[in-house]
Structure 1
Amino acid sequence: MKIRFYILTILLFTATLLHAQDARLTATVASTQVATGEQFEVMFSINTNGDHFAPPDFNGFRILAGPNISTSMSSVNGVTTMSNSYSYYIMAEKEGSYTIAPATIFVNGRRLTSNGLTIKVVKGRPVQQQRQQNMQAGGNAQAAAPAEADMAKNLFMRAVADKTDVYQGSQITVSYRLYTRVDLLDSQVDKIPDLNGFWSQDVKNSKEQQVRWHIETYKGQRYNVADIKQTILFPEHAGNLTIDPLGMTFLARVPVAPRNEIEAFFGGGSTEVKQKVKSAPVTIHVKPLPEAGKPESFTGAVGKFSIEASVDKSELKANEAINYRVKVTGSGNIKLFKDLSTNFPADFEKYDPKITDTITESINGVSGSRVYNYLLIPRHQGSFTIEPLKFTYFNPNTGKYVTLTTKAFPVKVNKGDNEANVTAFTADKQDIKVLDKDIRYIKTGDTELAEEGDGLFGSGLYYLLLTVGPIACAAAFVYRNKNRKLNSDVVKVKSRRAGKMAAKHLASAQKQLQANNTKAFYEDVFKGLYGYLSDKLNISYADLNKETIASNLKTRNLDDQLTRQLLDTLDLCEMARYAPVTHISQQEVFDKARGIINDIESKI
C-alpha cells in the first residue's frame, strides 16, 4: 500500500511539474509605435491559472486604467483549457524609445516571467494641453479614458454577409456583429434595416444561445465579439442591392484616469457613456438567372432539393377519393415555392392542394420540406395513369438547372355505386365535402302518381297561409306604433315602472330579513318607498320630503289614512336605522310597505 501511495504521489507531482512547464506568460501590444498623448493597451496573458501577478513599472508612460482582469475557458474534444489576461491602458507623455519591463506571476510555486516590450514614441498631441482642454470642458478627470477618447474604435458594429455575389433567389446569411472593448450596461434598437429588394427571415436562436461572446482580433486589436442579429435573405431581383444599416444605442462603462491617490490605488475610476452605433451598408451583387437552358417546368425554386411522390391507393371505385402526395426536401427558398405543374387524367376531379411546411431557419440558411396533398376523385371506371411530375430548380453552386422527375402511378377505377353520395377525405381523414351526382340516374323502381291539385299548392290551406303573412305584418306595425307612443312620455314611463323598481328594493329587503340584518333591511325598505314615490310622483330624489309627499298625494285624491300609514312607515324605517325598534316586527313592516305600494298602485 505504501509503495502504491508513493507511486501515485510521484505521478501527480510529475504531472503538476509538466503543467507548470507548459504555462507561459506573454506580453502583447497592438503597435510598437505610438504618439504622445495616444492611449494604447498592453496585455499580459497566461494560459493557466496563476497567483501573485506583478506588473512592470511602466516607466515613461502614464497608467490610465488597469489592471482589467478577464478569464476565458474553452473545451474541445473533452479537453478543457483556461486562460487569464491582465490589461492596462497607458499613455506616452514624451518622445523617445522606452522599454516595458517583464511582468511576473507564480504558477504552482514556480515564478514565470513575460517578455519585455520596446515602444517607440513619436511626436503627437501635447499631453499638458490635452489635460487643460479636458478640465475646461467640465471634466474632472486628468485624462480621458481610452474608450471615452475614441469610442468609435472601442465599440462598433459590422454587417457581415457570407456571400456578396449571388444569383437571384439564392440565400444569403447576414450577421450584425458587435465589437467591444468596454463593458456594456444597456442597449436599445434605434433603426431596423428595411432590406428592400430582399425576402427576409430572422434566425431565432434558443434562449441559451441568444448572445454568444467570443474573442476576435480585428485590424490588430482584440475585441469581445457577438452576433446580435442574424437574418437570412433571398434577393428578389437582379442588380446591386443594399443591406441597410442596423442602428443601436449602447450605455457603456469606460475607465477614466484616477482623480486621487485612492482611485489610483484601486486602478482608476470609471464613467458611463451613451454611444450610438450603426453598421455600414453592404452591397450585394445579384446576377439574373440564366435564360439559356431554362426548362418550362422551372417555377422559381433556387437551392438544392430532392422530390418524392406517392398515392394512398392504386385501386378504388368511381367517385371515391384518392390522395396524391408530393414532398420536396432540401435547402433554399422553400417558402417562396409556387404551385407545382401537375398533369392528372382529365376524368379526375382535382382540388387545391393542402400544403404543409416543416422548415428550420438557422445560420446555415433555410432548410426542410414542403408537402403537397392533392385530393383526386375519378368519375368513371377504367384504367388511368397519374403521369410523372417534373420539378426543376436552379443550383447556384453549379450555376445550372436541375430537373427531377417522380415515377408514374397506375390507378384502376372500378364501377361505383349509382346512388351513393361520396364523402371525400384528406390524408389525415378529415371530412372535406359531400359530393352528389352531377346527373342522377333514372329511377327504375315503383313510383306513385298523384292528381294535380292534391298537394298543398292551390288548396285552401295554401291561400290561408298566404294571407297570414300580411295580417301578422300589419298587427306588428300597429303594436310598434302604440308602444312608441306609450314610451314617448318619459314621466308616464317612470310612473308605470315605479312599481317594478320598488319590487326590486323590497326583494332585497326580504333577503336582508331572512339574513337577520336589521339595519340593511330598514335601509332597503326606506329606499324602496322613497324610490317608488320619486318615480310615481315625478319628483327628484333630492327634493323628496314628507311635506312634498303629503301634498302631492292629496292632489291625486289619495285618502288621508293611507297617506298617514305611508308617512308613519317612512318615519319608522328612518328611526330604525339609528335605534332599535321593538313594538313592531320586521315582517310586519315589510308587509305594511308592500301593502301601501299595492294600494297606491290601485288608486293612482
Structure 2
Amino acid sequence: MEKKIGKYYWLWAFIFLATSLVAQEVQLTARSSRTSVGLDEPFRVTFSCNARGGDLIPPSFEHFIVVSGPYSSQQTQIINGSMSFSRELTYQLVAQEEGTFTIDPATLKIKGKEFQSNRLTIEVKTGVRKERSQSVPKSAGFEVDILSSKKAVYVGEPIVLLFSATLFEQVRDLNMLQAPNFENVLQQQLEFEQQSRRERIGGKIATVLDFDKRLIIPNKPGTLGGQELKITGTVQKPTGQRDFFNMPLMRWEQEVATAKIPAVKIKPLPTPQPSGFSGAVGELKLVREVSRTSVNGDESITLKLRIEGAGNFNTISVPELIPPQGFDLYDPKFNEKIRYSERGVRGFKEFEYLLVPQFKGQFILPQMEWTFFNTKKEAYETITLEETTLTVTGDALVEAEPNNDGTSPKIQRE
C-alpha cells in the first residue's frame, strides 16, 4: 500500500511541476558576448527562452555574416521542488563594415502567440588591416591574399583567382564566408590539389597554402573586383597554462581574415563588329563533319556541325546549318562536353543532323562562314567552310527536276 501511495505521490508531483512550468510567463532574451568589436573580430549572439516547443526564428543579422552556428542547447533543473527549463540558440558573427548597428529581435512562435526578444546594439570599430609584409603580426593566426591571373582581359576572356593563406600558427577549416559576388559573369570553382610551401617572413617560418581557385568569365565591360571577402579559420592558440608534464596547453579559436579581390579591367570588344559576329570569344574552330559524301538511295548521311576549342562556351551558340537541297533534314541532336580549368573553358558544342535523300543526283552542301573574336590575336577571325558535293545513287529514287518557279521539287519515290 505504501509503495502505491509513493508512486502516486511522485506522479502528482511531476504533473504539478510540469503544469507550473507551462503556466509561467514566456521569456525570450538576447545577449552578446561583446558590444564593441573589431571589423574582423568574431563575437557570439545568444537567444535564450524558457518555453518548450515553438519555433524560435532568428533575425536577418543585417550588416553581419554568420561565421558558424546555430548551436542549440537546453537545460532542465529541479531545485527545492521548483522546476525550470531553458534553451539557447547561439550564432558566431563577424561585421561586414564599420559603424554602430542594431541586431533586430528574435521571434518565438508558440501556441498561436508571438514573443520577441530585446534588440542588441553592436559598435564595430576600425580593425587593423593586415597587409602582406615582411613582419609577422602579433595576434593574427593567418592572412589571406587573392591573386589574379591577369590585370586586363576582353569580354569573354577567362580570369583565374587564386586564394592563398599565410599560416603563422596551426590553422584548420579555412572557409570563405561568402563567395565572390560578381554581376554578369560566369563563376566556377576549380578542382585542384591544394599546395603548400614554406616561406620566411620576419625571421619566422610560415606556411603558405593555396586553398582555392575560381574561374571567372566576364560578360560585360567594366572593372571587376575591388570587393572584400572574409575567410574564417580555426587557429591553435596557447592558453598560458601548462599540463602535468610542463607542456603548454592549447585551444582552438576561430579567426576571420579579410582579403581584397584585385581589380581587373574588362575591355569591350573592338568596334565595328563584323556583321556575322554572334559573341563567341576565345581560340575556337568551326568544324563540319560529313559521314560520307556518296550514298545509295536507301541510305542516310550523318552531319555534325561543331564549335570546339577554348572560349566562352557559357554564351556560345552553334550556328544553324544551311541544308542542301534534295534531302530531308531531321531535328538535330545536341552534344556537348565542357571542362573548366586554369586555361579557361575548353571542350565542344555540336549539332548532329540526319540527312535522308529525296532524289538521286548530285547536290551541294552550301558554303558557311562563322566569325569569332580571337583573344590570342586580339582580332576578329572568320572561318569559311567550303561547299561539299553530295552524290546520291541507286534505283530507289528518281532524279530531281526543279519546279518552274525555281522552288525545290517535291519528294518522288518509286
Instruction: Give the TM-score taking structure 1 as reference length.
Output: 0.40
Which residue identity does 1:400 align to in structure 2? A
Deviation (angstroms), 1:198: 0.6
2-structure distance, mates of 1:270, 1:147: 20
Deviation (angstroms), 1:378: 3.4
2-structure distance, mates of 1:222, 1:408: 66
Contact 1:341/1:389 (<8 A) preserved: no
Task: Tell me which residue corresponds to 1:394.
Answer: 373
Deviation (angstroms), 1:150: 2.4
Deviation (angstroms), 1:269: 4.7
Structure 1 pair 249–286 and aligned structure 2 pair: CA distance change class (3 A): same
1:184 has 2:171 as partner: yes
1:325 has 2:304 as partner: yes
Which residue identity does 2:219 align to in structure 1? E
Contact 1:319/1:380 (<8 A) preserved: no
2-structure distance, mates of 1:298, 1:216: 49
299, 313, 317: which one aligns with 1:334: 313
1:195 has 2:195 as partner: no
350, 367, 371: which one aligns with 2:346: 367
Contact 1:319/1:379 (<8 A) preserved: no
2-structure distance, mates of 1:260, 1:148: 27
Structure 1 pair 367–287 and aligned structure 2 pair: CA distance change class (3 A): same
Which residue identity does 1:193 align to in structure 2? P
1:286 has 2:266 as partner: yes
2-structure distance, mates of 1:258, 1:302: 61
Task: Tell me which residue corresponds to 2:287.
Answer: 308
Contact 1:322/1:376 (<8 A) preserved: yes
Task: Tell me which residue corresponds to 1:150.
Answer: 139
232, 235, 238: which one aligns with 2:221: 238
Contact 1:176/1:279 (<8 A) preserved: no
Map residues 40-59 of structure 1 onto 2, 5 A cutoff.
none
Contact 2:304/2:350 (<8 A) preserved: yes
Structure 1 pair 414–362 and aligned structure 2 pair: CA distance change class (3 A): same
Contact 1:297/1:341 (<8 A) preserved: no
2-structure distance, mates of 1:245, 1:383: 64
1-structure distance, mates of 2:197, 2:239: 25
Structure 1 pair 219–410 and aligned structure 2 pair: CA distance change class (3 A): farther
Which residue identity does 1:349 align to in structure 2? D
1:175 has 2:162 as partner: yes
Which residue identity does 2:143 align to in structure 1? F
Which residue identity does 1:197 align to in structure 2? N
Task: Tell me which residue corresponds to 1:226.
Answer: 209
Deviation (angstroms), 1:417: 3.5
More helix by share: 1
Contact 2:333/2:353 (<8 A) preserved: yes
Q: What SS does the aligned partner of 1:282 have? A: coil
1-structure distance, mates of 2:376, 2:200: 31
2-structure distance, mates of 1:297, 1:376: 26
Contact 2:221/2:267 (<8 A) preserved: yes
Contact 1:148/1:273 (<8 A) preserved: no
Which residue identity does 1:274 align to in structure 2? Q
Q: What SS does the aligned partner of 1:334 have? A: coil
1-structure distance, mates of 2:386, 2:242: 82
The structure, 1 or 2, with the larger RCO (C-alpha pairs under 8 Å, 6+ apart) is 2
Contact 2:358/2:413 (<8 A) preserved: no
Task: Tell me which residue corresponds to 1:478.
Answer: none
Task: Tell me which residue corresponds to 1:500.
Answer: none
Deviation (angstroms), 1:149: 4.3
Task: Tell me which residue corresponds to 1:598.
Answer: none
Deviation (angstroms), 1:260: 9.8
Structure 1 pair 218–310 and aligned structure 2 pair: CA distance change class (3 A): farther
1:272 has 2:259 as partner: no
Deviation (angstroms), 1:185: 3.5
2-structure distance, mates of 1:290, 1:192: 31
Deviation (angstroms), 1:397: 2.9
Deviation (angstroms), 1:370: 3.3
Task: Tell me which residue corresponds to 2:359.
Answer: 380
Structure 1 pair 440–390 and aligned structure 2 pair: CA distance change class (3 A): closer
2-structure distance, mates of 1:173, 1:441: 58
Contact 2:177/2:230 (<8 A) preserved: yes
Contact 1:300/1:393 (<8 A) preserved: yes
Matched residue count? 270
Q: What SS does the aligned partner of 1:344 have? A: coil
Which residue identity does 1:413 align to in structure 2? V
* Identity between Structure 1 and Structure 2 (%): 22
1-structure distance, mates of 2:322, 2:413: 30
The Cα offsets for residues 229-271 of structure 1, whole Å up to 9 and x where unpaired, read as 21111101111233754433211103466779974xx5x5533
Task: Tell me which residue corresponds to 1:162.
Answer: 149
Structure 1 pair 222–197 and aligned structure 2 pair: CA distance change class (3 A): farther
2-structure distance, mates of 1:234, 1:352: 31
Map residues 37-186 of structure 1 onto 2, 5 A cutoff.
149-151=138-140, 154-186=141-173
Map residues 440-455 of structure 1 onto 2, 5 A cutoff.
none
The Cα offsets for residues 276-321 of structure 1, whole Å up to 9 and x where unpaired, read as 23321332211111123x3333222211123433211212355753
Contact 1:297/1:391 (<8 A) preserved: yes
2-structure distance, mates of 1:441, 1:323: 21
Structure 1 pair 377–416 and aligned structure 2 pair: CA distance change class (3 A): farther
The Cα offsets for residues 470-519 of structure 1, whole Å up to 9 and x where unpaired, read as xxxxxxxxxxxxxxxxxxxxxxxxxxxxxxxxxxxxxxxxxxxxxxxxxx
Deviation (angstroms), 1:400: 0.6
Deviation (angstroms), 1:214: 1.6
1-structure distance, mates of 2:201, 2:352: 51
Contact 1:147/1:254 (<8 A) preserved: no
1-structure distance, mates of 2:267, 2:171: 41
Deviation (angstroms), 1:408: 2.9
Structure 1 pair 226–406 and aligned structure 2 pair: CA distance change class (3 A): farther
The Cα offsets for residues 357-398 of structure 1, whole Å up to 9 and x where unpaired, read as 233322232223334322223333331111233232212232
Deviation (angstroms), 1:222: 5.1
More strand by share: 2
1-structure distance, mates of 2:175, 2:291: 54
Contact 1:203/1:361 (<8 A) preserved: yes
Which residue identity does 2:278 align to in structure 1? T
Deviation (angstroms), 1:350: 2.9
Instruction: Give the TM-score taking structure 2 as reference length.
Output: 0.56
229, 246, 250: which one aligns with 2:233: 250
The Cα offsets for residues 409-455 of structure 1, whole Å up to 9 and x where unpaired, read as 21012466479xxxxxxxxxxxxxxxxxx87989xxxxxxxxxxxxx
Contact 1:192/1:247 (<8 A) preserved: no
Deviation (angstroms), 1:327: 3.8
Task: Tell me which residue corresponds to 2:337.
Answer: 358
Question: Structure 2: 5+ residue runs without aligned partners?
Answer: 1-134, 399-409
CA RMSD of aligned residues (A): 3.5
